[in-house]
Amino acid sequence: MAPTITARLASTPEMLACFDDDALVRAALTFERELAAVLAEHGVISAAAAVAVARACEGFDASGLADAAAHAGTLAIPLVARLRAAIPDHAAAVHVGASSQDVADTALALQVVQATRLLDRDLDGLADALATVARGHAATPALGRTLLQPAELVSFGMRAANWLLGIDAAQGRLAREYRAACRLELGGAVGSLFALGAVGPAVRDALAERLGLVAAPAWHSRRDSIAGLGAALGIVIGAIGKLARDVSLLMQREVAEVAEPLIAGRGGSSAMPHKRNPTGCQVALSAAIRAPGLVSGLLAGMPQELERGLGGWQAEAPVIAELYALAHGAVHAMRIVAEGLEIDTTAITAHASEAATTERDAALAAAMWFVDEALAMHDAAVARRADRYPG
Amino acid sequence: MAPTITARLASTPEMLACFDDDALVRAALTFERELAAVLAEHGVISAAAAVAVARACEGFDASGLADAAAHAGTLAIPLVARLRAAIPDHAAAVHVGASSQDVADTALALQVVQATRLLDRDLDGLADALATVARGHAATPALGRTLLQPAELVSFGMRAANWLLGIDAAQGRLAREYRAACRLELGGAVGSLFALGAVGPAVRDALAERLGLVAAPAWHSRRDSIAGLGAALGIVIGAIGKLARDVSLLMQREVAEVAEPLIAGRGGSSAMPHKRNPTGCQVALSAAIRAPGLVSGLLAGMPQELERGLGGWQAEAPVIAELYALAHGAVHAMRIVAEGLEIDTTAITAHASEAATTERDAALAAAMWFVDEALAMHDAAVARRADRYPG
Amino acid sequence: MAPTITARLASTPEMLACFDDDALVRAALTFERELAAVLAEHGVISAAAAVAVARACEGFDASGLADAAAHAGTLAIPLVARLRAAIPDHAAAVHVGASSQDVADTALALQVVQATRLLDRDLDGLADALATVARGHAATPALGRTLLQPAELVSFGMRAANWLLGIDAAQGRLAREYRAACRLELGGAVGSLFALGAVGPAVRDALAERLGLVAAPAWHSRRDSIAGLGAALGIVIGAIGKLARDVSLLMQREVAEVAEPLIAGRGGSSAMPHKRNPTGCQVALSAAIRAPGLVSGLLAGMPQELERGLGGWQAEAPVIAELYALAHGAVHAMRIVAEGLEIDTTAITAHASEAATTERDAALAAAMWFVDEALAMHDAAVARRADRYPG
Amino acid sequence: MAPTITARLASTPEMLACFDDDALVRAALTFERELAAVLAEHGVISAAAAVAVARACEGFDASGLADAAAHAGTLAIPLVARLRAAIPDHAAAVHVGASSQDVADTALALQVVQATRLLDRDLDGLADALATVARGHAATPALGRTLLQPAELVSFGMRAANWLLGIDAAQGRLAREYRAACRLELGGAVGSLFALGAVGPAVRDALAERLGLVAAPAWHSRRDSIAGLGAALGIVIGAIGKLARDVSLLMQREVAEVAEPLIAGRGGSSAMPHKRNPTGCQVALSAAIRAPGLVSGLLAGMPQELERGLGGWQAEAPVIAELYALAHGAVHAMRIVAEGLEIDTTAITAHASEAATTERDAALAAAMWFVDEALAMHDAAVARRADRYPG
Mean pLDDT within B138-154: 97
**Distance between CA atoms of B379 and C11, rounded to whole angstroms?**
43
Partners of B317 on chain A (C-beta within 8 Å) are: 6
**Distance between CA atoms of B80 and A309, rounded to whole angstroms?**
48
User: In degrees rounded to 5, what are phi and psi of residue C158?
Assistant: -65, -40
Q: Is the pLDDT of residue D273 over 80?
A: no
Buried/exposed C117-148: b ≥16 CB within 10 Å, e otherwise: ebbbebbbbbbebbbbbbbebbebbbbbbbbb
Please give the share of chain C, as a percent, with pLDDT higher than 70. 99
In this predicted model, what pLDDT tens digit does every residue of B348-362 receive, in sequence order?
A: 999 999 998 889 999
CB-nearest partner of C152 from A150, A151, A272: A272
Q: How far is A56 from chain D (nearest CA, A)?
A: 29
Find the DSSP H helices in chain C: 5-10, 13-18, 21-41, 47-58, 65-72, 76-86, 100-136, 156-181, 200-211, 224-250, 279-300, 316-340, 345-352, 360-384
Query: H or E stretch including C149?
Result: strand C149-155
Measured in residues, chain A has a length of 391
Q: Is D308 a catalytic residue?
A: yes
Using alpha carbons, select from B110, B73, B318 the residue that is nearest to residue A6. Answer: B318
Mean pLDDT within D40-51: 98
User: In degrees rounded to 5, what are phi and psi of residue B389?
Assistant: -110, 120
8 A C-beta contact, residue B316 and residue B106 = no
8 A C-beta contact, residue A42 and residue A66 = no
Mean pLDDT within A348-356: 95
Mean pLDDT within C253-272: 91
Q: How far is D104 from chain C (nearest CA, A)?
A: 11
Find the DSSP H helices in chain A: 5-10, 13-18, 21-41, 47-58, 65-72, 76-86, 100-136, 156-181, 200-211, 224-250, 279-300, 316-340, 345-352, 360-384
Give pLDDT, residue C358: 87
Q: Which three-class secondary structure state does DSSP give residue D357? A: coil
Interface test with C, best of A254, A305, A354 (most C CBs within 10 A): A254
DSSP state of C261: P
Q: Which of D222, D269, D353, D384 is catalytic?
A: D269
CB-nearest partner of C293 from D65, D282, D293: D293
Q: Which of D33, D183, D204, D308 is catalytic?
A: D308
In this predicted model, what pLDDT tens digit does every residue of A178-199 receive, in sequence order?
A: 999 999 999 999 999 999 999 9
Per the CB < 8 Å rule, is B144 touching C291?
Answer: no
Per the CB < 8 Å rule, is D153 touching A308?
Answer: no
In this predicted model, what pLDDT tens digit does every residue of B227-238 receive, in sequence order?
A: 999 999 999 999
CB-nearest partner of A190 from D146, D176, D249: D146
Please give the share of chain D, as a percent, with pLDDT higher than 90. 94
Give pLDDT, residue B389: 84
Q: Is the pLDDT of residue A391 over 70?
A: no
Q: How far is CA D83 from CA C261, D29, D78, in A?
A: 28, 9, 9
Q: Give the mean pLDDT of chain B.
A: 97
Q: pLDDT-based confidence at C391, cuts 50/70/90?
A: low
Per the CB < 8 Å rule, is C66 touching D4?
Answer: yes
Partners of A289 on chain B (C-beta within 8 Å) are: 297, 300-301, 311-312, 315
Q: Which of A269, A353, A360, A384 is catalytic?
A: A269
Give pLDDT, residue A271: 80
Task: Work out how many CB contacts closer than 8 A connect B with C.
Answer: 289
Q: pLDDT-based confidence at B119, cuts 50/70/90?
A: very high
**What DSSP string describes A205-257?**
HHHHHHHT-B--S--TT--HHHHHHHHHHHHHHHHHHHHHHHHHHHTSTTT-S
CB-nearest partner of D296 from C282, C283, C292: C292
**Distance between CA atoms of D263 and D267, rounded to whole angstroms?**
8
Q: How far is CA C134 from CA A224, C278, C349, D272, D358, in A?
A: 51, 21, 15, 59, 79
Q: pLDDT-based confidence at B268, cuts 50/70/90?
A: confident
Query: H or E stretch including D144?
Result: strand D141-146
- What lies within 8 Å, CB to CB, of A308 at 6+ separation is A99, A101, A190, A191, A220, A221, D146, D147, D151
Q: pLDDT-based confidence at A85, cuts 50/70/90?
A: very high
Give pLDDT, residue D54: 98
Q: Is the pLDDT of residue D391 over 80?
A: no
Per the CB < 8 Å rule, is B252 touching D282?
Answer: no
Task: Work out how many CB contacts closer than 8 A connect A with D.
Answer: 286
Q: Cα–Cα–Cα angle for B160, B162, B164, nearest 5°? A: 70
Q: How far is CA B126 from CA B119, B166, B330, in A?
A: 11, 12, 11
Give pLDDT, residue B391: 58
Per the CB < 8 Å rule, is D252 touching B255?
Answer: yes
Per the CB < 8 Å rule, is D311 touching C283?
Answer: yes
Per the CB < 8 Å rule, is B24 touching A6?
Answer: yes
Q: Give the mean pLDDT of chain C.
A: 97
**Distance between CA atoms of B284 and B291, rounded to whole angstroms?**
10
**Distance between CA atoms of C222 and C295, rounded to whole angstroms?**
16
**Distance between CA atoms of C383 and B155, rounded to whole angstroms?**
46
8 A C-beta contact, residue B75 and residue B66 = no
Burial of residue C256, with CB atoms counted within 10 A of its CB: 0-12 exposed, 13-18 middle, 19 or more buried? middle
Interface confidence, given as ipTM, is 0.98
Provide the sign of the torsion angle of the four alpha carbons B357, B361, B367, B370, taken in this order. Answer: negative
In this predicted model, what pLDDT tens digit does every residue of A127-180 receive, in sequence order?
A: 999 999 999 999 999 999 999 999 999 999 999 999 999 999 999 999 999 999
In this predicted model, what pLDDT tens digit does every residue of D99-128 receive, in sequence order?
A: 999 999 999 999 999 999 999 999 999 999
**Distance between CA atoms of B366 and B363, rounded to whole angstroms?**
5
What stretches of chain B adopt beta strand conformation (E)? 141-146, 149-155, 258-259, 342-343
In this predicted model, what pLDDT tens digit does every residue of C57-103 receive, in sequence order?
A: 999 999 999 999 999 999 999 999 999 999 999 999 999 999 999 99
CB-nearest partner of D279 from C73, C80, C267: C73
Give pLDDT, residue C26: 98
**Active-site amino acid positions of B:** 269, 308
Using alpha carbons only, how large is chain A's radius of gyration in Å?
25
Give pLDDT, residue A234: 98
Give pLDDT, residue D107: 98
User: In degrees rounded to 5, what are phi and psi of residue A146?
Assistant: -130, 145
Q: Are strands A258-259 and A342-343 parallel, antiparallel or unpaired?
A: antiparallel
In this predicted model, what pLDDT tens digit does every residue of B305-341 receive, in sequence order?
A: 999 999 999 999 999 999 999 999 999 999 999 999 9
Neighbours of chain D (3+ CB pairs under 8 A): A, B, C
Per the CB < 8 Å rule, is D269 touching C4?
Answer: no
Q: How far is B271 from chain C (nearest CA, A)?
A: 29
Interface test with B, best of D146, D249, D253 (most B CBs within 10 A): D253
Give pLDDT, residue C269: 82
**What is the separation of C-alpha A132 from the centre of its chain, rounded to a whole number of angstroms?**
24
Q: How far is CA D185 from CA A342, B17, D96, in A?
A: 32, 52, 14
The identity of residue B159, as a single letter, is R
Q: Are strands B149-155 and B141-146 parallel, antiparallel or unpaired?
A: antiparallel
Q: How far is CA D240 from CA C223, D145, D228, D245, in A?
A: 24, 19, 18, 9
DSSP state of D271: S
Interface test with C, best of D20, D94, D290 (most C CBs within 10 A): D290
Give pLDDT, residue A225: 98
Per the CB < 8 Å rule, is A98 touching B24?
Answer: no
Per the CB < 8 Å rule, is B255 touching D253?
Answer: no
Q: Cα–Cα–Cα angle for C340, C341, C344, nearest 5°? A: 135
CB-nearest partner of D314 from C244, C271, C282: C282
Q: Give the mean pLDDT of chain A.
A: 97
Per the CB < 8 Å rule, is A75 touching B21?
Answer: no
Q: Which three-class secondary structure state does DSSP give residue D156? A: helix
Q: How far is D105 from chain A (nearest CA, A)?
A: 15
Per the CB < 8 Å rule, is A228 touching D231?
Answer: yes
Task: Work out how many CB contacts closer than 8 A connect A with B.
Answer: 224
Partners of A305 on chain C (C-beta within 8 Å) are: none
Q: pLDDT-based confidence at D304, cuts 50/70/90?
A: very high
Work out the number of other CB atoms within 10 angstroms of the CB of residue D304: 26
Interface test with B, best of A4, A106, A266 (most B CBs within 10 A): A4
- Chain D residue closest in CA terms to C310: D282
Maximum Cα–Cα distance for chain C, whole Å? 86
CB-nearest partner of C147 from A152, A282, A293: A282
